[in-house]
Amino acid sequence: MSAEVPLEALLGWLLASVRMLALFTAAPLFGNLAIAPRIRLGLALVVAFAIAPAPPPGLIRGDLLHFAGLVACEALIGVSIGFAAQLIFNVFGLLGEFLSTQGGIGAARMLDPTSGVSSVALAVALQDIAVLTYLGIGGHHALLRGAAESFARLPVGGGGPHAGAFLVIAGMGSVLYSAAVRLALPVTVALLVSNAALGLLGRAIPQLNLMTLQLPAHVAGLLLLLALGATALVDEAAALLGPWTGHAVAVVVGAP
Does residue 2 lie within any of the structural domains? no
Q: What percent of the chain has pLDDT over 90?
A: 25
Range scoring the smallest mean pLDDT among 11-15, 86-90, 181-185: 11-15
Rounded Cα gap, residues 98 and 198, in angstroms: 21
Rounded Cα gap, residues 120 and 115, in angstroms: 12
What is the pLDDT confidence band of residue 200, given thresholds at 50, 70 and 90? confident
Range with top average pLDDT, 9-18, 26-35, 138-147, 246-255: 138-147
Please compute the mean of the pLDDT values over residues 222-241 and round it to a whole number.
89
Please compute the mean of the pLDDT values over residues 104-126 and round it to a whole number.
70
pLDDT at position 128, please? 87
The residue among 241, 254, 256, 255 whose CA lies nearest residue 27 is 241
Please compute the mean of the pLDDT values over residues 192-211 and round it to a whole number.
74
Does residue 184 lie within any of the structural domains? yes
Does residue 85 lie within any of the structural domains? yes
Domain count within the chain: 1
Does residue 84 lie within any of the structural domains? yes
Does residue 1 lie within any of the structural domains? no
Count of helices and strands (H, E) across the chain: 10, 2
Domain of 90 in residue numbering reads as 7-253
Please compute the mean of the pLDDT values over residues 153-161 and round it to a whole number.
83
Please compute the mean of the pLDDT values over residues 59-85 and round it to a whole number.
84
In this structure, which amino acid lies at residue 1?
M
Tens digits of residue pLDDT in 54-66: 776 666 666 778 7
Tens digits of residue pLDDT in 119-139: 778 888 888 899 999 999 999
157 compared with 49, residue with greater pLDDT: 49
Does residue 18 lie within any of the structural domains? yes
What is the pLDDT confidence band of residue 17, given thresholds at 50, 70 and 90? very high
Question: Are the CB atoms for 96 and 120 separated by under 8 Å?
Answer: yes
Range scoring the smallest mean pLDDT among 86-90, 141-145, 161-165: 161-165
Say if residue 32 is exposed, middle or buried (CB neighbours under 10 Å; 0-12, 13-18, 19+). Answer: middle
What is the pLDDT confidence band of residue 77, given thresholds at 50, 70 and 90? very high
What is the pLDDT confidence band of residue 170, given thresholds at 50, 70 and 90? confident
What is the pLDDT confidence band of residue 24, given thresholds at 50, 70 and 90? very high
Mean pLDDT across the chain? 83
